[in-house]
Amino acid sequence: MARYIHQLMDERPTSKLDVEFNHRFSGNHFDEQAGGWVSDRWSMK
């Protein structure tokens, strides 16, 4: 089973990249500088 999971992970290296391109979730977005999820309604002052 571990070999199978390892094989799946090796065959799909772009799956993580697809998630990283879309950092939006229900009116929020992920901001590494802020350290996590930030509301889309917040604005920089």
Q: What is the pLDDT of residue 11?
A: 76
Residues 20 and 27: beta-carbon distance below 8 Å: no
Distance CA 39, CA 31 (A): 10
Q: What's the token pair of residue 37? A: 């999820």
Q: What is the pLDDT of residue 34?
A: 87
pTM: 0.40
Q: What is the pLDDT of residue 27?
A: 84
- Per-residue pLDDT tens, the chain, 45 aa: give them: 888 888 877 776 555 555 555 556 788 888 888 888 888 888 765
For residue 36, the cross-strand partners are 31
DSSP designation for 22? -
